Structure 1
Amino acid sequence: MARTESNMLALGTKAPDFYLNDRTTETNHFNFSGVKGEKGTLVMFICNHCPFVHHVIDEIIMIANDYRVQGLGIVAISSNDVIHFPQDSPALMTEYAFENNFEFPYLYDATQEVAKAYQAACTPDFYLFDQQDKLVYRGQLDDSRPGNGIPVSGSDLRGAIDSVLYNRTMNPNQKPSIGCGIKWK
């Protein structure tokens, strides 16, 4: 299992816009302003087959359920090359979203332009934007990885979200996420 770290996009970066198809409904398209939350927005790069995503998907769902009702916009994007990785195809994205009870859009980045704009490097990769659409957190969910024995808690990402929602000081110690590399064309 290859381990790729986040690129750590510069804090303060304005959220790159996008216009992508939602695999949870197959009929809707979203841009950044369409998923933006009243208090902030979480953009996650994930995919269907990555063991790092599988390791944390339950916590991702809990975070989404805990925070979307508090004004956080949440979206997941898959940017993997589906020709060489058919298990990440849009049809299987729909199935994955349904099986995991996604209550947020799961968008398909067919051209990989959105992943490039965000400088996404791995799955999972997390980007948290404040009310002004400025990047305030990028990095890991927590210190847990498949096989390292550390329980999944979401502590790093939850702490960052709490800072945005409750106007707290952001922890300056932001560790990169580690996961499977984006499967580039």
Structure 2
Amino acid sequence: MARTESNMLPLGTKAPNFELPDSISGRKLKLSDVYGEKATVVMFICNHCPYVNHLNKEIVKLAKDYANSDVGFVAISSNDVDKYPEDAPDKMKLKAQELGYTFPYLYDQTQEVAKAYDAACTPDFYVFDRNLELMYRGQFDDSRPGNSMPISGRDIRTAIDATIMGKRIYKAQKPSIGCNIKWKE
């Protein structure tokens, strides 16, 4: 696994639109289908990454904690499934069911969506405001596999809470660290 940091898309960037198949429902979903009235959280994840697996249960908890807060959540996997078959849509559906994902888990076969978001790693988190302007990009928290720090979700929760309240996030935003997205050649 290549330890890779987020590219840190510029704050204020408008959320790039997309239309991708949901591995859970089989339907194609657009950004407008996952939009939250107060905030929209876009997460680039995959099945096999140990950094994602380290956070997965807390990602599910995060989405459940904000279920009644007008916050939309969506996960996207953009990995090359020819080289990483465990990240294929049928396996994505199984993982989502196993972990109880309450949010869509979309498959970005062309990798165009990952490129549009300047995503670099899994996990990579983005929080957009009600106008779909980027308020936060970066890490879930300081916990990583093997560093013995408890998973708190402090960074992402602070960002979501500020966005819900219509406040800017002045605290320094740390990049996420994870496996690089497995780009097609």
- Look up the match of 1:126: 125
- Look up the match of 1:111: 110
- Look up the match of 2:85: 86
- 1:109-157 deviations in Å (ceiling 9; x for gaps): 0000000000000000001000010000000000000000100110000
**2:101 & 2:59 partners in 1: Cα distance?**
9
- Look up the match of 1:12: 12
- Look up the match of 1:163: 162
C-alpha deviation, 1:165, in angstroms:
1.1
SS at match of 2:86: helix
CA contact (8 A) 1:68 1:74 kept: no
Percent of residue pairs bearing the same amino acid type: 60
Alignment of structure 1 residues 134-173 onto 2, 5 Å: 134-173=133-172
CA contact (8 A) 2:2 2:178 kept: yes
Following TM superposition, the consecutive aligned residue runs of length 4 or more in structure 1 with deviations greater than 4 angstroms are: none
CA contact (8 A) 1:79 1:183 kept: yes
- Look up the match of 2:34: 35
C-alpha deviation, 1:166, in angstroms:
2.1
If the length of structure 2 is used for normalisation, what is the TM-score?
0.97
CA contact (8 A) 1:24 1:102 kept: no
Letter in 2 for 1:43: V
**1:49 & 1:158 partners in 2: Cα distance?**
24
- 1:65-121 deviations in Å (ceiling 9; x for gaps): 011310001000000000000010110000000001011100000000000000000
Structure 2: state its 5+ residue gaps: none
CA contact (8 A) 2:24 2:96 kept: yes
C-alpha deviation, 1:50, in angstroms:
0.3
* Cα RMSD after superposing both structures: 0.8
SS at match of 2:66: helix
Letter in 2 for 1:36: Y
More deviation, 61-70/150-159 = 61-70
CA contact (8 A) 2:15 2:134 kept: yes
More deviation, 96-105/159-168 = 159-168
CA contact (8 A) 2:135 2:168 kept: no
Letter in 1 for 2:14: K
Letter in 2 for 1:63: L
C-alpha deviation, 1:170, in angstroms:
1.2
- Look up the match of 1:54: 53
CA contact (8 A) 1:126 1:138 kept: yes
More deviation, 159-168/127-136 = 159-168
Aligned length: 184
If the length of structure 1 is used for normalisation, what is the TM-score?
0.97
